[in-house]
Amino acid sequence: MERPRHQGMAKNTYMRWRLPLVCLLWEVAMIILFGVFVRFGPEADAHWEEEKQEMNLTSDIENDFYFRYPSFQDVHVMIFVGFGFLMTFLKRYGFGAVGFNFLLAAFGIQWALLMQGWFHSFKSGKILIGVENLINADFCVGSVCIAFGAILGKTSPIQLLIMTLFQVTLFAVNEYILLNLLHIKDAGGSMTIHTFGAYFGLTVTRILYRPNLEQSKDKQGSVYHSDLFAMIGTLYLWMYWPSFNSAISEHGDAQHRAAINTYCSLAACVLTTVAFSSMLQKKGKLDMVHIQNATLAGGVAVGTSAEMMLTPYGSLIVGFICGIVSTVGYVYLTPFLESRLHIQDTCGIHNLHAMPGLIGGIVGAITAAAATEDVYGKEGFIKAFDFTGTYRTRTPSVQGGFQAAGIVVSLLMAFAGGTLVGAILKLPFWGDAAAENCFEDDIYWEVPEDEESDVYHMHNPDKPASP
Amino acid sequence: MERPRHQGMAKNTYMRWRLPLVCLLWEVAMIILFGVFVRFGPEADAHWEEEKQEMNLTSDIENDFYFRYPSFQDVHVMIFVGFGFLMTFLKRYGFGAVGFNFLLAAFGIQWALLMQGWFHSFKSGKILIGVENLINADFCVGSVCIAFGAILGKTSPIQLLIMTLFQVTLFAVNEYILLNLLHIKDAGGSMTIHTFGAYFGLTVTRILYRPNLEQSKDKQGSVYHSDLFAMIGTLYLWMYWPSFNSAISEHGDAQHRAAINTYCSLAACVLTTVAFSSMLQKKGKLDMVHIQNATLAGGVAVGTSAEMMLTPYGSLIVGFICGIVSTVGYVYLTPFLESRLHIQDTCGIHNLHAMPGLIGGIVGAITAAAATEDVYGKEGFIKAFDFTGTYRTRTPSVQGGFQAAGIVVSLLMAFAGGTLVGAILKLPFWGDAAAENCFEDDIYWEVPEDEESDVYHMHNPDKPASP
Amino acid sequence: MERPRHQGMAKNTYMRWRLPLVCLLWEVAMIILFGVFVRFGPEADAHWEEEKQEMNLTSDIENDFYFRYPSFQDVHVMIFVGFGFLMTFLKRYGFGAVGFNFLLAAFGIQWALLMQGWFHSFKSGKILIGVENLINADFCVGSVCIAFGAILGKTSPIQLLIMTLFQVTLFAVNEYILLNLLHIKDAGGSMTIHTFGAYFGLTVTRILYRPNLEQSKDKQGSVYHSDLFAMIGTLYLWMYWPSFNSAISEHGDAQHRAAINTYCSLAACVLTTVAFSSMLQKKGKLDMVHIQNATLAGGVAVGTSAEMMLTPYGSLIVGFICGIVSTVGYVYLTPFLESRLHIQDTCGIHNLHAMPGLIGGIVGAITAAAATEDVYGKEGFIKAFDFTGTYRTRTPSVQGGFQAAGIVVSLLMAFAGGTLVGAILKLPFWGDAAAENCFEDDIYWEVPEDEESDVYHMHNPDKPASP
């Protein structure tokens, strides 16, 4: 009765056996692989007492846990509350936003522990994990959350779980190429997380293009309270971004510096976002979409360079530019991408992650190329870029070149991977909703009857006023 | 005019003199007892400079504050935002959920500082407190928040304050028996917090059984936005649970390991919860009740064993099982408990805390019994189970037996204590609401007029459009 | 059509060119000044390796980052989520509350880094910043957030940016007088942040007095869900206040002690707030306004003394008193201030910050005056009050006198500064709304159509049911 006209075209969104099957299959696989491969790293293992003696450590405080755990928890909040609530802005897709983000991230971190573990923490047949692995797993999943933003409201939970499986895999490969083969720096992930994640998601949504999406256009907006829920996500991302960009930097000055640079960049970004949000609108009013998203671009754009000697004013400049670029993107570019390039980008990740991610990669390359022993100090210079072993003779300008190459690699991986995954997700049996049912929790969730219907009853003479 | 039919049976919920009296009495007692007993521990006292010299500490960073304060704050958020918002799912009981939780926890932590202090931090007539005491006080109150979940919406704030007074007392006694007399490990509180707290609350709600509760059935559900508020609580509990289970573990590897195990268990739990939520519902749709609650069972169930060498895959298995047990509990067990055993469990704490708590105790006993010097290392083995002094000769299997005894003791304390407290709360002068007024903030709170009524006016020709 | 009657008096609230101009001007100025003045401090600079050797530090963990970063992040959350969401209680001003708070704080922290930097971190022509500067910048902006509470809903974003510019400047001057010239202690800012910020804001709102504000009276209240959003703000302020008061205390015992004292004071405060909220209302029901605000007064009131040997029971007493004072203030004083003194205090900052701030200054003076070498230990005594160099011979009672003088100076700075800034903000071209449009997001924000209007359409036969 509710949607009679399109019932003929209605897709099969029945999840009862498919979704449980995928979830259980994925999880059983995780248990087996963890059983075979994953063990505690030396700082989390009960043999730590002996380890301490061997390493001549005098105090438990030298355990990496105390260097990184507070940052880990901040990153954790960004992934689950930050991304989750940022996407609750849609009036009737709050459950899907926060719930599916929860689901894909919970699966993704497990698979990321394995994938990243094989590449980076594999020793005598075992993956040895510690708090830094947890952070990196959260980071990896961050790129999936970003891609989720592009397809929000248009995919089934099964599609999301499949995308997560592939994207985490590709992320780990790309990360390995960048960090190990090209030996580049990207502690806050401008390239590995944002550029890769965003262009991956944009490619997927391009392939999943829905020509009749205007049928659910009335549900693609926000309501007053959903915009406030989204601000919870925005603020937690904004506040904790200094932790994000510093979480896996070297102990000491690098972590300290990364936090300061990010703090500065984000602060500047808010002012230019507000300026351009007001300026680009005829009535001069502020648009919540910009405040919720473009204010964060400054954090994305110092992801590579935050741990370098970018300097506070350098960070302000980057944030200044990104607030503008991102806001302008929301106003002019998103409609263009949708109408001309058929890229339907629900959350505007092109403006928040793709462009600022590219800027971040470039800023990182320039900052690296401009590095001198004078600015970093003799030891600091070597430590900052890890110019040791094979890379002992690498110069800053060569490093800058490799950093730039990292952007290109990330883009290529994103396009190729996104195409592959998009094609897989296009298969007709994953249970995505018909165009007129997009952006609607009712398809996959038990949704409680709401005040609206109470009000309806109130005015309906056939039913009692208070049910 | 609003509730004419039942006015004859309406109970006296007038709080004006009773609630202030209890609050002021409780708080004056706290001040007097703190004045007599509570002082700063050596690491928070201004004599710390001398203490440092005596203990040969070279740096302020060795102060326990820096080992535990970040975890403390995470636990603090779990108690006040986590539990508080988790319970805001009811459509018209959000003020009561978050407000009464705030009230009882604020009182409870003071009383817990005293009770636990007398048992564990009493030196030459004074209780010496530091950050670990604050964490333990929050933990203790956590068990009250759990019990609150069972009686949510059906009790007056006075009843909650009385329950807090007794439950904190019994918690401290039970904890003393377990940790000191039985010498068992329970850092994340599967037994002391969850098993005890949940069965205590279930016993209380059994005794307070309300045969006519279906009169307020229409208010026992959620609305769209109240479910999103509840997700704030869920996510903060979920994200910070690694801090909860590691907060009072030994410095170094034990804290590190507890965080990793909990992270793994929780991640697995999300996937099986989603699987079974979809599978157990005819339409295959996900139920917010399960996502809000059963996803957390994995944290409860590694409460005892997280600091042991449970291993990451062991944690995944525990989380896997608990997501299933908890979700199945919500679907089948809660209705059964209500209809057959007359246990009205508003938040379903039986599924989130009671059963996973029991599983946690058992997993802890098994993990302890299976411990070997090979797995833990010689020193690590002794340190992990504190096999020193009187307990120098205790073997793992004996330890496992004592751990299992801890479960039984906690259950007995919960049943006996819950019966006593339930009987006290049943006395007729504590101001609880009549059955038809349960789950309704209006009884104890000034509630603002809402949009609903605005809308009503909008369509009511007798009243002005904007009041 | 929407507001026909008052259109003649409607003010020009068009922001399109004015707001962007101010934002861009402010931010360009920041970039230039940062470029000239701001550099990394030694612990965030890449030369840290050399610094470490010079200072004989054996571990990176000695970097101040690890002592203060967790507290910094908690303070950061208080400023942006705490203050931002606390002010979302108004039914139609949530965007303005959280969005303008975001804007002014993001600008304010940059300007505060400069202003406080010139006074406290200026070395050979450069301001050298580290994590402590970030905390202090957040603190400084906290005083602006407080003042914002008094004028919430009645000012344009331009006015807020201008106020921020001036208030941060005056804050830094006042802080310099108190901390450097008077050599007093105020780590949690009872005087510098709360007393100064609140009386500054009250003076501004007095000067901006709007005689016809009752025209927007219907919008000055809350709705059910806006009260829950506000509770997010309340709880984050309440939970993280121990971090606020300890964030810049001396390493070690002082930080530890400050957290404990604040924890105790806040806990006591909740109970007396609840008691008096119920007692002062004829129906005995609790008022969300009190729970949201007065529960925090205990944190304000130990801002000066928390790092001193106030003792836990001393803290309980302070919290006990402040819950009462603050709640009584909301019930009796706020209406009086508005009707008699023409002080329109939207959030009641007089009750939450002004009076408790004064109490905090006085408690600090008394606690300092009562200090003895016996209580603090010989070294602890000197360290606690920094009785070194010029101040080697200062006695506790003299210190108490100076502390008291700090209250007076803060008040004078607040009244003088508030008068000046109020006069500037009264100029007619800053774009504030007319009295009948106050407390309404619609003036400065694109506001989505809401369920209300959906419902309206539902019942309006002339329009389609789903727009």
Q: What is the pLDDT of residue C64?
A: 96
> Region B399-418: what's the mean pLDDT?
98
Q: How far apart are CA B364 and CA B350, in angstroms?
A: 19
CB atoms under 10 Å from CB of C4, counted, come to 7
What is the nearest CA distance from B257 to chain A, expressed in angstroms? 5
Name residues 208-237 of chain C within 8 A of A (Cβ).
225, 229, 232
| Cβ(C178)–Cβ(C409) below 8 Å | yes
In this complex, which of B21, B46, B65 lies closest to C309 when CB atoms are compared? B46
Q: How far apart are CA C202 and CA C148, in angstroms?
A: 10
What is the nearest CA distance from A390 to chain B, expressed in angstroms? 33
Residue A210, judged by CB atoms within 10 A of its CB (0-12, 13-18, 19+), counts as middle
Most A CBs within 10 Å, among B256, B280, B387, B455, to test the A interface? B256
Q: What is the pLDDT of residue C10?
A: 63
Sheet holding A122-123, edge to edge: A38-40, A126-129, A122-123
Q: What is the pLDDT of residue B201?
A: 98
- Which residues of chain C have a CB within 8 Å of the CB of A311? 38-40
Query: CA nearest A303: which of A136, A187, A438?
Result: A187
Chains that touch C (3 or more CB pairs under 8 A): A, B
Measured over the CA atoms of residue B194, residue B200, residue B203 and residue B208, the dihedral's sign is negative
Query: Which residue reads 């005491």 in tokens?
Result: B133
Residues of chain A with pLDDT under 70: 1-10, 450-467
| Cβ(C284)–Cβ(B17) below 8 Å | yes
What is the nearest CA distance from A29 to chain C, expressed in angstroms? 36
CB atoms under 10 Å from CB of C83, counted, come to 26
- CB B19 to CB C70 under 8 A? no
Chain C interface includes A287 (CB < 8 A)? yes
| Cβ(C223)–Cβ(C166) below 8 Å | no
Query: CA nearest A281: which of C446, C25, C96, C93?
Result: C446
Name residues 150-179 of chain C within 8 A of A (Cβ).
157
Report helix, strand or coil for C124.
coil
Q: How far apart are CA C298 and CA C321, in angstroms?
A: 8
Tokens standing for residue C411: 């008040």
Tokens standing for residue C126: 């450069």
Measured over the CA atoms of residue B30, residue B31, residue B34 and residue B40, the dihedral's sign is positive
What is the nearest CA distance from A200 to chain C, expressed in angstroms? 31
Tokens standing for residue C200: 């500054």
Q: How far apart are CA A61 and CA B118, in angstroms?
A: 29
CA A67 to chain centre: 23
- Which residues of chain C have a CB within 8 Å of the CB of B61? 61-62, 66-67, 251
Question: Is the pLDDT reported for residue C316 higher than 90?
Answer: yes
Sheet holding C122-123, edge to edge: C38-40, C126-129, C122-123
Q: What percent of chain C has pLDDT over 90?
A: 90
- Which residues of chain C have a CB within 8 Å of the CB of B243? none
Query: Which residue reads 């010498």 in tokens?
Result: B183
Question: Is the pLDDT reported for residue B6 higher than 70?
Answer: no
In this complex, which of C27, C61, C81 lies closest to A320 when CB atoms are compared? C27
How does strand C126-129 pair with strand C38-40? Answer: parallel
- CB B24 to CB C376 under 8 A? no
Element holding A39 (H helix, E strand) = strand A38-40
Summarised one tens digit per residue, pLDDT across range B315-364 is 999 999 999 999 999 999 999 999 999 999 999 999 999 999 999 999 99
Question: Is the pLDDT reported for residue B458 higher than 50?
Answer: no
In this complex, which of B61, B286, B311 lies closest to A61 when CB atoms are compared? B61
CA B356, B358, B361, B364: dihedral to nearest 10 degrees? -50
How does strand B38-40 pair with strand A126-129? Answer: unpaired
Fill in the DSSP letter of residue A4.
-
Within A216-252, residue ranges assigned H as helices are: 224-246
Q: What is the pLDDT of residue C449?
A: 78
Question: Is the pLDDT reported for residue C450 higher than 90?
Answer: no
Q: What is the pLDDT of residue A1?
A: 37
Element holding C465 (H helix, E strand) = none
pTM of structure: 0.95
Fill in the DSSP letter of residue C330.
I
Q: How far apart are CA B42 and CA B39, in angstroms?
A: 9
Q: What is the pLDDT of residue A10?
A: 62
What is the nearest CA distance from C89 to chain A, expressed in angstroms? 12
Chain C interface includes A283 (CB < 8 A)? yes
| Cβ(A439)–Cβ(A90) below 8 Å | yes
- Average pLDDT of chain C is 93
One-letter amino acid at A459 equals H
The DSSP bridge partners found for residue C398 are none
Tokens standing for residue A144: 């999936």
Chain C interface includes B106 (CB < 8 A)? yes
Question: Is the pLDDT reported for residue B112 higher than 60?
Answer: yes
Output the 3-class SS for chain B: CCCCCCCCCCCCCCCCCHHHHHHHHHHHHHHHHHHHHEEECCCCCCCHHHHHHHCCCCCHHHCHHHHHHHHHHHHHHHHHHHHHHHHHHCCCCHHHHHHHHHHHHHHHHHHHHHHHHHHHCEECCEEEECHHHHHHHHHHHHHHHHHHHHHCCCCCHHHHHHHHHHHHHHHHHHHHHHHHHCCCCCCCCHHHHHHHHHHHHHHHHHHCCCCCHHHHHHHCCCCHHHHHHHHHHHHHHHHHHHHHHHCCCCCCHHHHHHHHHHHHHHHHHHHHHHHHHHHCCCCCCECHHHHHHHHHHHHHHCCCCCCCCCCHHHHHHHHHHHHHHHHHHHHHHHHHHHHHHCCCCCCCHHHHHHHHHHHHHHHHHHHHHCCCHHHHCHHHHHHHHCCCHHHCCCCHHHHHHHHHHHHHHHHHHHHHHHHHHHHHHCCCCCCCCCHHHCCCHHHCECCCCCHHHHHHHHHCCCCCCCC
| Cβ(C418)–Cβ(C375) below 8 Å | no
| Cβ(A146)–Cβ(A201) below 8 Å | yes
Most C CBs within 10 Å, among A86, A240, A316, A324, to test the C interface? A316
Task: Give residue B11's pLDDT band: very low, low, confident or very high (50, 70, 90).
Answer: confident
End-to-end Cα spacing for chain A:
22
Q: What is the pLDDT of residue B42?
A: 96
User: Looking at chain C, which residue has its C-alpha nearest residue A289?
Assistant: C446
Name residues 78-97 of chain B within 8 A of C (Cβ).
80-81, 84-85, 88, 92, 94-95
> Region C309-319: what's the mean pLDDT?
97
Interior/surface letters C216-249, b for 16+ CB within 10 angstroms, e for the rest: beebbbbbbbbbbbbbbbbbbbbbbbbbbbbbbb
Most C CBs within 10 Å, among A43, A92, A265, A274, to test the C interface? A274
C-alpha angle C15/A236/A120, rounded to 5°?
135
Fill in the DSSP letter of residue C129.
E
* Pairs across A and B, CB distance < 8 A: 237
Q: What is the pLDDT of residue A58?
A: 87
Question: Is the pLDDT reported for residue C367 higher than 60?
Answer: yes
Quick one: chain A helix, strand, coil %, rounded to 5?
70, 0, 25
Q: How far apart are CA C88 and CA A347, in angstroms?
A: 24
One-letter amino acid at A94 equals G
Chain B interface includes A74 (CB < 8 A)? no
Chain A interface includes C67 (CB < 8 A)? no
CB-side neighbour CA atoms (13 Å) of B324: 11
CB-side neighbour CA atoms (13 Å) of A25: 10
- CB C23 to CB A275 under 8 A? yes
Q: How far apart are CA C29 and CA C312, in angstroms?
A: 46
Summarised one tens digit per residue, pLDDT across range C418-438 is 999 999 999 999 999 999 999
Chain C interface includes B70 (CB < 8 A)? yes
ipTM of model = 0.94
| Cβ(C394)–Cβ(C385) below 8 Å | yes
| Cβ(B250)–Cβ(B308) below 8 Å | no
- CB A40 to CB B257 under 8 A? yes
Q: What is the pLDDT of residue A68?
A: 97
Question: Is the pLDDT reported for residue C236 higher than 50?
Answer: yes
Chain A interface includes C362 (CB < 8 A)? no
CB atoms under 10 Å from CB of B374, counted, come to 8
CB-side neighbour CA atoms (13 Å) of C147: 40
> Region B181-203: what's the mean pLDDT?
97
Residues in chain C: 467
Within C249-354, residue ranges assigned H as helices are: 253-279, 288-293, 297-301, 312-328, 334-341, 349
> Region B125-142: what's the mean pLDDT?
98
Q: How far apart are CA A308 and CA A250, in angstroms?
A: 11
> Region C184-210: what's the mean pLDDT?
97
Q: What percent of chain B has pLDDT over 70?
A: 94
- Which residues of chain A have a CB within 8 Å of the CB of B285? 15, 443-446
Most A CBs within 10 Å, among C73, C162, C439, to test the A interface? C73
One-letter amino acid at B138 equals D
